[in-house]
Amino acid sequence: MGLDLIAANNGWAMAVTGAIIVMIGLSGLAFVISQLHKVLALFDTQKPAPPANAAEAECPPIEVVDWLCDPGGAARVCQLFTAHMGEGFKLTALYEELVKNDCPHPHLTIRAWREQGILVPAEKGHFCWKQDS
């Protein structure tokens, strides 16, 4: 009795039409979302980067260091931006410098330097860089 009434009042056609409308709507929404980055790029107000000048081209390349696999290279880089701390420094000050300069994994790096003898203890809880002979 119920299915006969659905068929008599075009229920099946309305159900199929509704499902098609929902699928078309979802497909359209997916398309709009996938192309949204192109629309947003039109409104982006960032200026293009200026071309590199000759003075920048003459600078030596910056040394790229793998901080976890090359602790010695990382220590050489770190010594440059910790030179203002002097000969002896606390590990907390070294940690703060590493964080301030966005160095990856400061705890692991300091630990590796200590284990490999790159950072050696000095007097009164201070540390210093190992002097190369």
pLDDT by residue (tens digit) across 111-127? 888 888 888 888 888 88
**Token pair for residue 126?**
């201070």
Burial of 51 (0-12, 13-18, 19+ CB in 10 A): exposed
Domain boundaries, the chain: 2-43, 57-129
Read off the pLDDT of residues 37-68 as tens digits, 9 standing for 90 and up: 888 888 877 666 665 565 554 555 555 666 66
Burial class (CB in 10 A: 0-12, 13-18, 19+), 97: middle
Considering the four listed CATH numbers 1.10.8, 1.10.10, 1.10.3470, 3.10.20, the one that applies to the domain covering 57-129 is: 1.10.10
